[in-house]
Amino acid sequence: MFSLFECALTFTFVSVVSSTGVSCSSITNLNIPGTNILSITGNIVLNYTVPAVPPVLLSPINGLNFCSVTVVLTHPNENDTVTTTIWLPLSGWNGRFQGTGGGGFSAGLGPLGLGSAIQGGYSAGSTDGGNLGLFFDILPAALTSNGSINWPLIEDFGSRSVHDMAVIGKAVTEQYYGTPPLFSYFGGCSNGGREGYAAAQKYPRDFDGVMAASPVPGFAKISVAAMWPYTVMVQEKTVPSECVFNAFVNASIAQCDGLDGVLDGIISDVESCFYDPYTLVGKQVACDGEIVTIDEATSKVVQMVHDGLTSPSGEKLWSGQNWGTGFVGLYVGNLATSTQNGTTTPIIPEGSSQYIKYLLKRDPSFDISSLSYADLTALFHQSVAEYEAILGAGNPDLSGFRDAGGKLLSWHGLADSLIYPNGTVLYRQEVDALMGGTEAVSEFYRLFLAPGVNHCGGGYGPVPTDPLGALVAWVENGTVPETIAGQFTDGVGDVVWRDICYYPLVSRYDGHGDPKVASSYDCSTSRGLV
């Protein structure tokens, strides 16, 4: 199986000693509390290429020269094995360390994250977290030989391995360069965003700054709630095609596009968008050469998907996706169907399916298609009870991180079809309620909501161009990010720049400037999204 910590390329190994530290192969004597070090290996790597692996890395990164240190450890009496990889640029080190996050059930992305970091001058770390999974697949090691949960592995994935990576990364950096990093940062998206939140909550002194994109503060909640659209289509016996679904997307955009003062194909003011999908009942849509008449059953499915996971008694357990959220892009998301030979079938969300099979049912062969609304409700409550404390990153008490001087910069696409942004907004509201209100929290934690943007990018809207740079300026220079720059290419091929406002503000057109230029927009107050 392909490992994110391996690459089928030829390495060139030579002996290089850093100007004030030790040779790459001489790094030893690491003291990592709570661990037993099994091995440490260091090699110089020259002219290395990180290949493009869409959608994680869209373009290759060429010509990297670095010291690669691999540390394999275990935690006493846990019978686990965790591998941490540290890359240190041979020249141009910027004096900073950056921990990199993972995605899906991968705790780290290996070269895919490390390459970008050292290209920017950072020494950087990545962890395999003990190998719970690979992207959306959970590996058999999640279960022990008797079918019970491998709890040490769950703890490694939850937060422990990222903490170990931070300690290892800073120690290796100091040995190699002869001086500790002046600042330490964490950057990640999706599960990587969750890891960043968890680090700020559980290990508040590990990083001076955390950049967490498309985070998953309620990991145990969304992992079940993501099955909701599939279950709705099965239980309602109504499976609209992607073309039909997109008719609702387009209709909601047509209704709510102008709420921010400009017609650009993007819903920026989602909290003011009150779209009614039943208005399309009886309307005809051309799909694959056929005319489809939208019926009430289809509109009901769309409304239920928007409402989110709801118990049979009517209790809303988790939010759904915002109006205007598309179904095509780098990520299909949780709502997907396939039409073949005139027949449309629902596609099971792989990540949620794996989570339910392995971690809740403890049975990889469990039939997901049999789930009822009551079943999904029970699984949601089971998941929260068993896993939210260890896998979730929803503790609103960030006082330790605040008191340590840490800064948390987070962004989330408002059209995220995989990790719904309202979960992130809800978490921010809980932090505000606990820690003195929006203004006080914004002194150390800022959330930016990118209109039209899908999971970790894509979609049709301004994708943040350098959120880590904004975080560094905040931490080191005290430059508070009022906005972060975003960019996308519109339907006619023009590059559009838009500044993304920090929560709870929203971007609104000034009414007279060029709508493709960031200076034509202001940040205005918002009522909130939840």
Distance CA 285, CA 460 (A): 22
Distance CA 511, CA 36 (A): 62
DSSP labels, 288-331: TTEEEE--HHHHHHHHHHHH--B-TTS-B-S--PPTT--S-SS-
Query: Sign (positive/negative) of CA torsion 367, 372, 375, 380?
Result: positive
Catalytic residue among 156, 260, 269, 416: 416
Angle formed at CA 170 by CA 167 and CA 173, multiple of 5 degrees: 145
Catalytic residue among 68, 116, 190, 507: 190
DSSP 516: T
284 CB neighbour count, 10 Å cutoff: 11
Catalytic residue among 455, 499, 520, 526: 455
Which of 367, 238, 216 is closest to 297 using CA atoms? 238
Residue with tokens 């993501």: 226
Query: Catalytic site residue 416?
Result: yes
DSSP 106: B
Query: Catalytic site residue 512?
Result: no
20 CB neighbour count, 10 Å cutoff: 9
CB contact at 8 A, 97 and 124: yes
Q: Give the ranges where 14-132 is alpha helix by DSSP (H).
A: 111-119
CB contact at 8 A, 176 and 152: no
Query: Catalytic site residue 137?
Result: no
Residues with a known catalytic role: 190, 416, 455
